[in-house]
Amino acid sequence: MGRKSRDSRRARVAERQGASQAPVPDGTRAATAAFLGWLIPGGGHFWLGRSQKGLVFAITIPLMFVIGLALEGTLAPFDPSRPLVFLAAFADLGNGVPYMLASLAGLGEGRVVAPTWEHGNTFLIVSGLLNMLVCLDAFDVAVGRK
Amino acid sequence: MSSHFLLLVLFAALVSVVFAVLQKDEPKEQLRFGGLIFAGFVATAVVLGWVFLPFPL
């Protein structure tokens, strides 16, 4: 047996061993990370041990949400007859617990005539969408893609 | 606070922080990437503001 074929056989064996030792993506863990991330901004990253990133998300995303409310933005209602409003509502929902608390407290009624109303809506919608991205990032981290 | 420009800067800063932390792992890279996005946001808004100036609402 030549040296070349021995080397290639060793490489194949090492590759097989490496493949068998690679961590198997855990769907439940990933789903939990994503769900926690949605519920509490940064929660998924905290749960995965990435506390610094989690802390940044836990501050910035709710801060954007609160600024949106302070600017008299509206938490859009789920109204299927108005597709854009429905999409905005879906984006708002991305904020998780802050969204639920604000809804329960009757905040987010908005004031259409306020000069900052559109800005408020932008802050509310974008904070929800950013949190969805953060959830997906937590999912990717949990399955080992990042 | 109703200054549109200040709100724009605040929005750009917060979104840049989230994107930078999401995309990069090293603090140096995060700072560089975040700064780049922030500058991009503000510069684009100012340029678009000038471009749209002749168009009445």
The secondary structure of A42-64 as a DSSP string is THHHHHTT-HHHHHHHHHHHHHH
The whole domain housing B37 covers 4-51
Q: Which of B2, B4, B15 sits opposite A130 (nearest CB)?
A: B15
pLDDT above 70 as % of chain A: 83
B52 close to A (CB below 8 A): no
Question: Can you give the pTM of this predicted structure?
Answer: 0.83
User: Residue A144: left if φ>0, alpha if ψ -120 to 50, beta else—which one?
Assistant: left
Contacts of A116 in chain B (CB under 8 A): 1-2, 7
Predicted local distance difference test score (pLDDT) of residue A16: 58
Domain contains B56: no
Please, which residues 78-137 of chain A have a Cβ atom closer than 8 Å to chain B? 115-116, 119, 122-123, 126, 130, 133-134, 137
CA-nearest of A13, A17, A18, A19 to A5 is A13
In chain B, how many domains are there?
A: 1
Contacts of B19 (CB under 8 A, 6+ apart): B33, B34, B37
Chain B residue closest to A51 (CA)? B21
Q: Which of A123, A133, A134 sits opposite B11 (nearest CB)?
A: A123
Count Cα atoms within 13 angstroms, Cβ side, for A144. 6
Please tell me the distance from the alpha carbon of residue A52 to that of residue A30, in angstroms, as a whole number: 19
Name the pLDDT band for B55 (thresholds 50, 70, 90). Answer: confident
Domain contains B57: no
ipTM of the modeled complex: 0.88
Condensed to tens digits (0 to 9), the pLDDT of residues A23-45 reads: 556 788 999 999 999 999 999 99
What value does the mean pLDDT of chain B take? 92
Number of CB pairs, chain A paired with chain B, less than 8 A apart: 35
Contact in structure between A114 and A69 (CB atoms under 8 Å)? no
Condensed to tens digits (0 to 9), the pLDDT of residues A105-141 reads: 999 898 999 999 999 999 999 999 999 999 999 999 9
The number of beta carbons lying within 10 Å of the beta carbon of residue A64 is 26
Domain contains B38: yes
CB contact under 8 A, A53 and B15: no
